[in-house]
Structure 1
Amino acid sequence: MFRLKYCLLYTHFFISFFLTARSQETRRIDKSWEFLKSDLGGIWEAVRPVGKGNPEAVPIWQQVDLPHCFNATDGVDPDVNYYQGPGWYRKNIKVDNPYQNGRTRLHFEGVGQKTEVYVYTTKVAEHIGGYDEWVVDITDAVKTFTANPICEKQFHGQVPIIVRADNSRDLEMIPSDLSDFNLYGGIYRHLNLQYIPQASIDRVFTKVSVDPQGKEGSLHISARFLRDDGSRNLKVDIRLLDPQGEQVAQFEKEVSTQIKEIDLACLNVKKPILWSPAQPSLYKLIVTAKTGMDSCTVEEKIGFRHFEFKKKGPFYLNGERLLLRGTHRHEDHASVGAAMTDSMILKEMQLMKEMGVNFIRLGHYQQSRVVLNACDSLGMLVWEEIPWCRGGLGGEQYQAQARQMLTNMIEQHYNHPSIIIWGLGNENDWPGDFSVFDKEKIRAFMKELNDLSHRLDPSRKTAIRRCDFCKDIVDVYSPSIWAGWYRGLYTDYKQASEEEMKKVNHFLHVEWGGDSHARRHAENPDKALAKITTGDGVDERAGDASLYGGAARVSKDGDWSESYICNLIDWHLKEQENMPWLTGTAYWPFKDFSTPVRPDNPVPYVNQKGVVERNLNKKEAYYVFQSYWVKKPMVHIYGHTWPTRWGEPNEEKMIKVYSNAEEVELFVNGKSMGIKKRNVQDFPAAGLRWMVRLREGENHFKAVAKNGKEMVSDELRQNYLTAKWDKPVRMNLQEVDREGDIVTLQADLLDAKGVLCLDAQNWLHFSAVGDGSLIDNQGTSDGSRKVQAYNGRAMIKVRLAKGKCVASVQSEGMETTFVNLQ
C-alpha cells in the first residue's frame, strides 16, 4: 500500500504538470538540439550554411537533447577544473501560432548562468541568473525572419533558434564562485514553445489563509494580464475544485486588459480540507480568460494550512506542534550534472519522503518547478532561497540581480502551499570576492531584501543561515552548528543549540552532519574524538573544511567512515526527540553533490555529506533516519556494504540494528542473541545492539522486528578476519560482477603475505584501453577513476564493446595491476 500510494501520487503529479501549462498552446522543444562547448566568433557562425555548400565549416556541433548541462561529467573529473565559459545551442523549429494576432514565446525553466537568445541573427533577449524561469517574446523576430527569402530557401520554412549559455566567472554575479557547489552551465531545465492570445493571463496569485483550528478558510485570487495595444475586455471564468475533484465555487468576471493586475475574487471556504505532510490535500483553481474565439487557461494547485513559529519555541502546523524533520538538496546528479530528468527528481523526492522527511531547504537557489510540485504533492514544507551565497556584496548590478531573483522566486512559486520560508542568503559573513568587506552595507542590503520579501509576500517568513551580524533582521535564523564535525563533539549538540536558540526569536537549525566515504566502515569510529578540544564552540570557521592544518577536528582527523556518521546522526536524532522547544532541523544534504572547492576529498570534487550517493545509492545513514522518522515498520542491520570485519579471535563485536519497532530479535549463525526493546534515549541504535563473538570466515545475521502483530526482517552475510596485516605492497584487480556489457572490477590492497589491508585508505587510479571504457566521472565511490580505498578496496565499472579490453589500477609505491576483459 505504501508504494501504491506514492505511485498514485506521482501519476497524479505527472498529469497535473502537463495540465498546468501557462497557456493552452505549450509544447516542449527539448529534442534534437545541436551544441557547441566553446564560444563563436559571432552569431553568423551559428547560422551560416554548412554541408555540401561549405564542407570545411568548423567548429563541429554535437547532437543533444534538453535538459542538458555542459558540465555533466567535468564537474567531478579528478584531473581538471570544470569548464566555465560559453556554450551554444541551436535548433530549427516550426512556428505556427493558431491565435490571430497571438504572441509566440520561448519559456525557459532554467539556464546557467547568463543567456543570450537569437532568432536567426537577431538578438531577442538577455537574461542573468541560472535558476529562475523566464520568457522571451519572439513574435516580431519570427515575423521578420519568415518574410526573408532565406527562410524558405535555406531553412525550409523553419525558424532558427540560437541560445548562448555562459557560466564564466564573474564577481558581479551571484552566486559566488567561492560557493561550495558548481555553477553549472547549459540549458539544464526544460524549454517550451508557447502560443498565447493577444490578450491573456500572465500569472495568477492566490493568497490562502485558514484559522489555526482549520474551521474557516479564505482564498484571495488576483491575476496579472499581458497588456496588448488596444483596450479590450476579457471574460474570466474561475472554478475551485476540492481534493476529490468536486466543484466548491464557480463564477465569472469581466476585466479590462488595460489594468495590469486585478483582484478577481475572495472566497470563504467552510471547514477546508487541510494540507499537511501527513495528508497533502490540494485544491485546484482553474482560471480561464476569453476574448472572442480565443481563450487561455491557468491552473494552480493550492492548499489550506496555517503555520506558526512560536517565539523561542516550537513550530506549529494547523494548530499542532510539528517537529520539522528536514534535509537539503542540490540540483545535481551523477552523469548529468544539473540536467536532472523529471524521473530522477521524482525518485529523489520519493526517497526523501520514504526516509521520513517533512521539511526541505532548497540550497542555495530557486529550484525546478518539478521539485516544488513534488513537495506540494508529497507533503514537504519548504525553505527556498536566492543564491546570494558567500563572497561579500557587489555593486548595483549585483544587487539588482539579487532583487530580481528574489522577486522572480516569490512570484513564480507564490502559490505553492509547501513553501513557508523565503531564504535571503547563505553564509553572507564569508568574504573574498571584493577588496572591501563592509558588514554595515551587507546589513543594509539584507534589510532591503527582507522588506522586499515581506512586501511581495506578507504571509511567509524570511530566513538566512550563518551570518550572525544580520540575525536580527530576518524572521528565522540558523547559526552554524556542526557539533562533532568541524568543531567540538557531537555530544555538544543539544547545549549549543539551546544557547543559540536563546539569542533569536525563531531558531531553526539547518546544516548539520558530516562527510562519509560510501563503503568505508570502522571498528572504532569515534577514536578521533579523543583529539578534539571542547569548549571552543561547534561552528564552522575559515579553513575548517580543509583536510590540512589547523586545530584537531573530525573533518580532518576522522576516518570519514559511514560508521562514524551513523553515530553522529544517531546522537543528533536522539537529542531532537527530547528538545520540546525545537522547531526542527535539516540535515546537510540528502545527496552527495559536486563542488569545485573539495578536490582532495576521497571522491574528488564531491561533497560527501549525503545520506545517499550522487546516483541515489543509499548509505547506511539513510536507515538511521528511517528508524526515527518513519511509521512504516522497518529494520536494518548495520553493514550491508561492509563485506569484512576484523579483530581478535573471540573478541566481542557490536552488532547494531536500526529499527522503529518496539522490539527486535537478532540471530547470528542461526542462534538467537536475544530480544532487545527499543529505547530512543539508549545510544547507540536506540538500544538495539548486541555484543557478539564472531567466528572466523563467514557469519550470517538476521534481525526480526516486531510491532504488535507486524513483523519485518533483514539479513546479511559478513566475513570476520583475525589475521594481522602490514602495509599494502601490491594490488589484486578482478572482475566481481557482470550485467550485460557492464563489468564491475574490484581492486584489493594486500600486504606482503597476501592479507587484505582492511584499514588501507590509499589512492587508486583506474584506467581502461581497447574495446571498453570506464564508467567514471560519476562522483560516486564506484564511479571515479581516482578514489580513496574503502577498507582496503575500491571498485569501478567498465562498459565493454565487442573485442578485448585491458583495465588497470595504479597506486603510488606499487606496481600497476592489469586484468583482461572481453
Structure 2
Amino acid sequence: MRRWLTILVALLVAACAATPPRPAAAPPPARSATELTEGWQFRFDDALTPEAALALPDSEWQAVTLPHTWNRLGEYRIGRTGATDNRQGKGWYRLRLDGRTLPAGKRHVIEFDAVGNIADLWVNGRHVGRHAGAWSRFRFDLTGYLDPAAANVLLLRADNSAPAPGSSTADVIPLDGDFFIHGGPYRGVRLLHVAPSHIALGDHGSAGVFATPVVESDGSGRLDVRVELEGIAAGQSLVATLRDAEGRSIGEATRPVAAGRRGLEFSIDVPAPHRWDGRADPYLYRLDTRLADADGTLDAVSVPVGFRTIRFDPEQGFFLNGRHLPLHGVSRHQDYLGKGWALTRADHERDMALIAEMGANTVRFAHYQHAPDWYELADRYGMIVWSEIPFVNKISFGAATASPDLVANARTQLQELIRQNYNHPSVVTWGVGNEVDLDVALGRLDPKADARPLLRELNALAHAEDPTRPTVMADCCEATHETLTPDARPVQPPLTGITDLVGYNRYYGWYYGKPADLGPHLDRMHARYPAVPLSVSEYGAGGALTQHVADPASHKINAGGRPHPEEYQSWLHEQSWPQLRDRPYLWATWIWNMFDFASKVRQEGDATDINDKGLVTYDRKVKKDAFFYYKAQWSNAPVVHITGRRWRDRTDAKTAIKVYSNAPRVALTLNGASLGDIACADRICTFPDATLAPGENVVTARADFPSGPVRDEVRWTLAAP
C-alpha cells in the first residue's frame, strides 16, 4: 500500500512540474480611455441649480448621445421655422458612472475636447472646476471625487449666453462675431485612466510632449524634445523613439528621471530627415514617448512630427523647405446644416476632401481653435495652416481697453491653442486677432478704444510660447476708406506691424468699392509697409442658388440683404483672383468662405441665419459655380463646368454660355448643334450670343485631356412667348 502511495505522489509531482505556471494577471494598459458618449441626459434650463439638477427625475431629462449641441441655426428659406434652435443660455448634462468599472490603481481624468461656451462640472454634488472658452480641450482630475465602489453622478453645465455687460460671458472672447457660438459638449468627451506617475495632463490640455524639428543648412536634422511630467517617483526613466512613416525606429533617447521632477529636455539626431513638404509630400514621423520603471511602461504618448523649414518674405511671399510656394486657399467654419457644431470624423474628412479637390494648398482655421481631427487632417493632406484665437471684432462694451478678466481669458485661450497644437507641422502661424478694429471703424465704439495693447501682449505671449512660428492678425479696415474718399482721415489706429505677418480682410466689390480697387489698394499697403509680409485673409461675395442675373458686372447688389445672385459671386471671384495671383509679394490668399455657415445676424440672399459667401452650401450638397472657377484655376484634375446650371427657367432667348475649364478649348453644342470650339481665356470659355429655343434646351461642353475627354451638360427651359 505504501508503495502505491509513493508512486501516486511521484506521478502528481511530475504532473505539476509538467504544467506551466499560471501567468500573473496582465497589468492594465499604460494609459487607457473610456469614451463617454452614451447615457447622457440633457435639459436646457436657465433657472436650474446644481442641487435641483441632481434631484430631477429621469422623466424631466432628454436622452442624448455625445457629441451634442442643442443649437440648430440656418435655413435656406425666408424666415425661421421649428428647425431653428438659437437658444442661448444654460444647458445641463447628467451622466451616471459606475465606479466599480474604473481600473484600480489609476488616476481618472476627464477630458473634454470642447464645450460651448463656459463649462462647469460637478461630481456627486461637488464642484470640480470651470473652463471658459468654446473651442479648447480641457481636463479635470476626478480621482478624489469619484467613489470607486458606487454609482457616481456627473453634472455638466454648458453656458453659451450672449455676451453683454454683466453677463456670464462678458469677459470671455469673443464678445462679437459673424458666427454663432453653439452650446454643449459638441466634441468628444472621455475619461482617461493613467498611472500616478504619468506624462502631464494638466498643461493647458496639451499632450505634455513638445517636439521641435530642426533642419540644418546642410540638410541634417535634430528633434528637440520637451516633456512635462507629473507624480514622478524614484527609479523611473523616459524613453523616446522617433519612428518613420512605416513605423521603423530611426532614433531613440533614454533619460532617467529624478523623483519629483516635472520636466525633461533632450534631443534626437536625424541625419537626413524626410521633409514634410505640403501637398506635394506631407511626410510624417511619430514620436513615441514612454515613462517606465523596472516593471514596464507606466504611461505613453505619441505625437506627430514633420521636418520642414518655413520663411516669409515681404517681396517674394512664402517659402517651404527653401522653395517658393504661392499659397491659395480658403477659410472654414466648423458647422453643418442640421448638426450645428456636433461634427463627426467623417464630416471633417469630407470637408478636407472638398478643399483638396478644389486644389487649395492652405486653410485658415477661422476664427477659433478647430477640432483635433481638423489639425490631423491638415497634417496628412499637406495643408498650410493659419490657426488663431477668437479675439474678434470687439475689445469691450464701451471701455477704451479690454478688462483684466478678458485679457486673462484671451491669454489662456492663446496658450491652449499653441500648446495643444504645437506638434502639427501644418501650422505655420499663430493668429492673435481678427478685425478687432471693426467696432471703431463702423462707429459702434468710442474712437478712443484701442485694441493695440492687448494685441501686443498676445503677440509677445505667442513668441514666448513658440519662438519657431511667426504671429499674424487679420485687419478689416485700415486705409480702405482711401479708395472711396482719398482725403478722408483714418477712422482707427493702424494695426499693421504689431504682429510679424498681417492678413487683410478686403471686400472690394461687395461691401464697398469695385472689384478692380483690390489690387491697387494692396499695392499701396505694400508700399506703406515694405518690411511686413502681407496676405489677403478674406475676400469674397454671397451666392444664392435661387437668385440669378444675366449681367453681374452691371448689377447693383445688396450685400446686407437680398438678392445675392450666384452669377455675381462668380463674377467677383473672376475679377479678384487674377489681381491676387499677379502680386507675388502676397504670401497667401484665402477665400471667405469654403462653406456657407450659420450667422445669427444674417437675413440675406435666399436664406435666414446663413452667411452665403461659401463656395459650397451649408449642407455640402451643392458646389456653387465659383467652386469650379477655382478648381479650374488651381487643380490639376480635368475641369469642364458650365455655369448658370441652376438658372433653369429662362425668359430671354439670347444668352451667353460660360464654361470654366483648364483645357485650352472646349467644344459647345446647343440642342445637338455645334457652336464650335471655344478658346478658354484664363480658364474661362465664353460663347457670348447663343439663342435658346422655346421649351427645354440642352447645352453640352466637351474638352479633351491626356486622361481622356470630359463632358458637362445643363438643361435650361425657355418660356414660350
**Taking structure 1 as reference, are residues 181 and 274 closer, same or farther at Cα in structure 2, changes over 3 Å only?**
closer
Match of 1:547 in 2: none
Number of the residue aligned with 1:39: 46
- Partner of residue 512, structure 1: 539
- Please report how far the alpha carbon of residue 131 of structure 1 lies from its aligned counterpart in structure 2 after TM superposition: 0.6
Q: Partner residue of 1:717? A: 715
Query: What is the CA–CA distance in structure 1 between the aligned matches of 2:456 and 2:699, rounded to whole Å?
Result: 57
Is 1:494 the counterpart of 2:519? The answer is: yes
Cα distance change on mapping 1:236 and 1:391 into 2, 3 Å: same
The yes-or-no answer on 1:163 pairing with 2:190 is: no
Aligned to 1:377: 380
Indicate which of 170, 176, 179 corresponds to 1:178: 176
1:572 maps to which residue?
576
Q: Within the alignment, does 1:454 sit opposite 2:463 as a pair?
A: yes
Deviation of 1:184 after TM superposition, in Å, equals 1.4
Asked if 1 retains the 8 angstrom alpha-carbon contact of 2:276 and 2:425, the reply is no
Contact 1:391–1:434 (CA<8 Å) still a contact in 2? no
Give the corresponding residue for 2:633: 628
- 1:422 aligns with 430
**522, 529, 536: which one aligns with 2:549:** 522
Bigger mean CA offset, 411-420 vs 610-619: 610-619
Gaps of 5+ in 2: 1-28, 165-169, 201-207, 397-401, 479-493
Question: Is the Cα–Cα contact under 8 Å of residues 115 and 164 in structure 1 kept in the other structure?
Answer: yes
Deviations 1:462-495 (A, max 9, x none): 1111164221110111234211101111122222
The question of whether the paired residues in 2 share the 8 Å contact of 1:272 and 1:304 is answered with yes
**Aligned pair in 2 of structure 1 residues 435, 640: CA closer, same or farther (>3 Å)?**
closer
1:751 match: none
Q: Any conservation in 2 of the 1:177–1:183 contact (CA below 8 Å)?
A: no
2-structure distance, mates of 1:440, 1:48: 47
The whole-number CA distance in structure 2 between the counterparts of 1:689 and 1:118 is 67
| Alignment partner of 1:481 is 2:489 | no
What corresponds to 2:93 in structure 1? 89
Q: Superposition pairs for residues 437-452 of structure 1, below 5 Å?
A: 437=446, 442-452=451-461
What is the CA–CA distance in structure 1 between the aligned matches of 2:265 and 2:698, rounded to whole Å? 67
Counterparts in 2 of 1:170 and 1:563: CA distance versus 1, 3 Å: closer
23 and 555 in structure 1: CA distance in 2 versus 1, 3 angstrom threshold: farther
Matches of 2:509 and 2:92, distance apart in 1? 45
Confirm whether residue 287 of structure 1 aligns to residue 312 of structure 2: no
Cα gap change, 1:370/1:472 in structure 2, threshold over 3 Å: closer, same or farther?
Answer: same
The 1-side partners of 2:215 and 2:98 are apart by 47
Which one is further off, 77-86 or 495-504? 77-86
Partner of 1:609 in structure 2?
Answer: 613
The answer to whether the aligner puts 1:303 opposite 2:302 as a matched pair is no
The match for 2:14 is none
> Which deviations, in whole Å up to 9, do the C-alpha atoms of 1:579-616 show, x marking residues without a partner?
23222210001111111212355311111110111101
Moved more, 110-119 or 459-468: 459-468
Is 1:346 the counterpart of 2:349 in the alignment?
Answer: yes
Which range moved further: 582-591 or 514-523? 514-523
Output the CA distance in 1 between the equivalents of 2:651 and 2:697.
12
Aligned residues: 651
**Residues 88-114 of structure 1, C-alpha deviations (whole Å, 9 max, x = no match):** 001112345776542101100000111
3-state SS of 1:170 partner:
coil
In the other structure, the counterpart of 2:664 is: 662
* Cα distance in 1, alignment partners of residues 87 and 561 from structure 2: 32
Deviation at 1:405, TM superposition (A): 0.4
Once residues 24 and 635 of structure 1 are traced to their aligned partners in structure 2, the CA distance between those partners, rounded to angstroms, is 51
Moved more, 608-617 or 694-703: 694-703
| Preserved CA contact (<8 Å) 1:481 1:496 | no
Aligned counterpart, 2:393? 390
Q: For the Cα contact (< 8 Å) 1:75–1:595, is it kept in 2?
A: no
Q: Structure 2 counterpart of 1:479, which letter? A: Y
In 1, are the aligned partners of 2:332 and 2:365 still within 8 Å (CA)?
Answer: yes
1:432-473, Cα deviation, whole Å (9 max, x unpaired): 899975767521221111011011101111111116422111
State the alpha-carbon separation in 2 of the partners of residues 320 and 74 from structure 1: 42
Q: Is the 8 A contact 2:42 2:63 kept in 1?
A: yes
1:360: how far off?
Answer: 1.0
1:557 and 1:452, CA in 2 relative to 1: closer, same or farther beyond 3 A? closer
- The 10-residue stretch of structure 1 (706-715 or 420-429) with the greater mean CA deviation from structure 2: 706-715
Matched residues in 1 for 2:550 and 2:157: separation? 52
Deviation per CA, 1:54-79, whole angstroms, max 9, x where unpaired? Answer: xxx7xx21011111111125899726
Query: Per the alignment, in what secondary structure is the counterpart of residue 508 of structure 1?
Result: strand
Deviations 1:735-756 (CA, angstroms, capped at 9, x unpaired)? xxxxxxxxxxxxxxxxxxxxxx
C-alpha distance in structure 2 between counterparts of 1:511 and 1:633, whole Å: 27
C-alpha spacing 1:710/1:498, structure 2 compared with 1 (3 Å): farther
The reply to whether residue 356 of structure 1 matches residue 359 of structure 2 is: yes
What secondary structure, in the 3-state scheme, does the structure 2 residue paired with 1:470 have? coil
TM-score by length of 1: 0.75
8 Å Cα contact 1:67-1:189 kept in structure 2: yes
- For residue 65 of structure 1, what is the aligned residue in structure 2? 65
Cα deviation, 1:477-521, whole Å, max 9, x if unaligned, reads 123421110111112222222222223311010110011112322
**Structure 2 residue 528 is the aligned partner of structure 1 residue 503:** yes
Shift in Å, 1:160: 1.3
Contact 2:358 2:627 in 1 (8 A): yes
- CA distance in structure 2 between the aligned counterparts of 1:250 and 1:98, rounded to whole angstroms: 34
CA change 1:691–1:257 in 2 (3 A) is farther
The answer (yes or no) to whether the contact 1:662–1:707 under 8 Å persists in 2 is: no
- In the superposition, relative to structure 1, how do residues 686 and 418 fare at CA in structure 2: closer, same or farther (>3 Å)? same
Contact kept in structure 2, 1:74 and 1:83, CA below 8 Å: no
Compared CA separation, residues 211 and 440, structure 1 to 2 (3 A)? farther
Q: Distance in 1 between matches of 2:163 and 2:67?
A: 24
Distance 2:445 2:275 in 1: 53
Where does 1:727-742 land on structure 2 (aligned, <5 Å)?
none
Deviation track 1:129-186 (CA, whole Å, cap 9, x = no partner) reads 111000010000114xx56xxxxxxxxx332111000011234333344311112111
**Following the alignment from structure 1 to structure 2, what is the Cα–Cα distance between the partners of residues 701 and 102?**
68
Partner SS state of residue 438, structure 2: strand
Secondary structure at 1:184's aligned position in 2? coil
Contact 1:330 1:362 in 2 (8 A): yes
Task: State the alpha-carbon separation in 2 of the partners of residues 709 and 140 from structure 1.
Answer: 64
Distance in 2 (alpha carbons) for counterparts of 1:434 and 1:500:
23
**Distance in structure 2 (CA, Å) of the matches to 1:110 and 1:30:** 14
**What is aligned with 1:466?**
475
State the one-letter code of the partner of 2:35. R
User: Of 396, 408, 417, which aligns to 2:416?
Assistant: 408
Provide closer, same or farther for how the CA distance between residues 211 and 84 of structure 1 changes in structure 2, counting only shifts above 3 A: same
Distance 2:502 2:134 in 1: 26
Q: Hey, what does 1:245 align to over in structure 2?
A: 247
* Structure 2 residue 234 is the aligned partner of structure 1 residue 232: yes
Distance 1:486 1:435, change over 3 A: closer
Helix, strand or coil at the partner of 2:346 = helix
For residues 192-242 of structure 1, what are the alpha-carbon distances to aligned partners after superposition, in whole Å with 9 as ceiling and x for unaligned? 111011011121001113257x823221111111236xx434222211122
Q: Is the aligned partner of 1:326 residue 2:329?
A: yes
Within 5 A, what are the aligned runs for 1:722-761? 723=721
Partner SS state of residue 262, structure 1: strand
